[in-house]
Amino acid sequence: MGPRAKKVRAKETKPNEDLANILLEIGEYEKNVNLQPFKYNAYRRASQSLLECDKKIKRIEDAKILKGVGKRIGERIEEYLKTGKIDKLNEARKNNKSKILKELNRVAGIGPSHAQKLFSEGIRSLKDLKSHQDLLTHHQKIGLKYVDDFEQRIPRQEMAEIEKFLVDQIKNIDVKYTVTICGSYRRGLESSGDVDVLITHSNYVSLRYAQEQNLRTAKNLIIETKKSPEMLLKKIIDKLKKLDFITDTIAFGDSKFMGVCKVTNDYLHRRIDIRILPFDEYFCGILHMTGSDMFNQNMRKTAKERGFILNEYCLRKLDSSGRPGKALKIESEEDIFKYLEINFKRPEERY
DNA sequence: AATAGGCTTGG
DNA sequence: CCAAGCC
């Protein structure tokens, strides 16, 4: 998911690609150098509109009607149409500081704010960073170590190998685990940016579910507490480390592991996220994590129109005063579509 | 006013 | 607790 995945299915004809790229570059400059995330967003949206427009923009009037193009961005486009360049961009490109900040931002865990800080401390390149690792957090050190690997996309073939490995190993711990690799892989794309794994255990339910269903005394049940997801997840992570599949840990909390993995020595290091969810929340979870972002947005909108509220964890019906009721019982992705009276869409169809 | 909100780290 | 970063 995210902007990277979107790019893959952009239109065949992109007559305004040049202009779109320029706007995006200005946006990145606003975010990384001027610490203006909202401006970045505005430029990004305008850029996206330009990309989706299949008619070549020749006059400023054509641009003004696009969504995301207002006064300021309109002026920039006008400048581009008249002169073939944009001053703001040239300013950005020749600015040495902005080049350095951009370079530092390649490192996972270094955002605009940290990059500025490092610059003010005299860091001018990734090479500088390598010799001043005391300035970095644990996450950033790993980002630096694998900066080249993390920029490479993961071929579908390798994703499939990772999937098989994970399913085999985790089922081997306990057959009651279910493992799903979500994201663009699940949607059938030929490459992915990272590995996004969701796991559940058929005996594991959320506290909310246990209370609503009055399951307090049921046997064999693992009811969510602060520590239970950790117990279920830690077992798995320990094993994957022992097998040398997981090579580094970025963050490891109650319910979510973030780290680095590698299938065999022939492969690059890949970013992997693994999280554990209660069974009753699993299908809303995989729906959410499978995306695409656009698909999620649309589905949630439809849900709202039909008197439901859908989020990452559950689907609830809204009562007449708009208050959400109990979470609906869901045992598959299909169930979610059924409640909403939407035809089921396979992951490959979720644009 | 602006992507939604949660998770995790680090101070 | 807050800020940053990521998903």
Fold of A154-283: Beta Polymerase; domain 2 (3.30.460)
Summarize pLDDT for A126-177 with one digit per residue, the tens: 999 999 999 999 999 999 999 999 999 999 999 999 999 999 999 999 999 9
Whether the pLDDT of residue A6 is over 50: the answer is no
Give bridge partners of residue A178 from the DSSP assignment: A200
**Could you tell me the distance in Å between the CA of residue A290 and the C1' of nucleotide C4?**
26
Whether the pLDDT of residue A216 is over 80: the answer is no
Q: What is the pLDDT at residue A319?
A: 84
Q: Class of the A288-349 domain?
A: alpha beta
With a pLDDT cut of 70, the percent of chain A lying above it is 96
Q: What is the pLDDT at residue A8?
A: 42
How far is Cα A181 from Cα A196, in angstroms, rounded to an integer?
6
What DSSP line would sit under A155-223, residue for residue? EHHHHHHHHHHHHHHHHHH-TTEEEEE-HHHHTT-SEESSEEEEEEETTEE-HHHHHHTT-TT-TT-EE
Query: With a 7 Å cutoff on the CB, does A288 touch strand C?
Result: no
Q: What is the pLDDT at residue A217?
A: 67
How far is Cα A136 from Cα A119, in angstroms, rounded to an integer?
13
Summarize pLDDT for A48-102 with one digit per residue, the tens: 889 888 889 999 998 988 888 988 899 999 999 999 899 988 988 888 999 999 9
Amino acid whose CA is nearest the C1' of B10: A137
The answer to whether the A154-283 and A288-349 domains have the same CATH topology is no
The CA dihedral of A143, A39, A290, A173, to the nearest 10 degrees, is: 30
Domain boundaries, chain A: 12-94, 96-145, 154-283, 288-349
Q: What is the pLDDT at residue A12?
A: 62
Task: Yes or no: say if A222 and A205 are a contact pair by the CB < 8 Å rule.
Answer: yes
Q: Class of the A12-94 domain?
A: mainly alpha
Residue A157 burial class via C-beta count within 10 angstroms: exposed 0-12, middle 13-18, buried 19 and up: exposed
What DSSP line would sit under A319-346, residue for residue? -TTS-EEEEPP-SSHHHHHHHHT-----
**Could you tell me the distance in Å between the CA of residue A219 and the C1' of nucleotide B3?**
42
Residue with tokens 């299908």, as numbered in its chain = A283
Whether the pLDDT of residue A230 is over 80: the answer is no
Lowest mean pLDDT of A72-86, A212-226, A291-305, name the range.
A212-226
Is the link from the previous residue into A191 a cis peptide, with omega within 30 of 0? no
Whether the pLDDT of residue A11 is over 70: the answer is no
Q: What is the pLDDT at residue A303?
A: 87
Whether the pLDDT of residue A2 is over 70: the answer is no
The CA dihedral of A33, A36, A37, A39, to the nearest 10 degrees, is: -110
Q: What is the CATH number of domain A96-145?
A: 1.10.150.20
Summarize pLDDT for A333-342 with one digit per residue, the tens: 999 999 999 9
Amino acid whose CA is nearest the C1' of B4: A311
Whether the pLDDT of residue A287 is over 70: the answer is yes
Task: Yes or no: say if A310 and A324 are a contact pair by the CB < 8 Å rule.
Answer: no
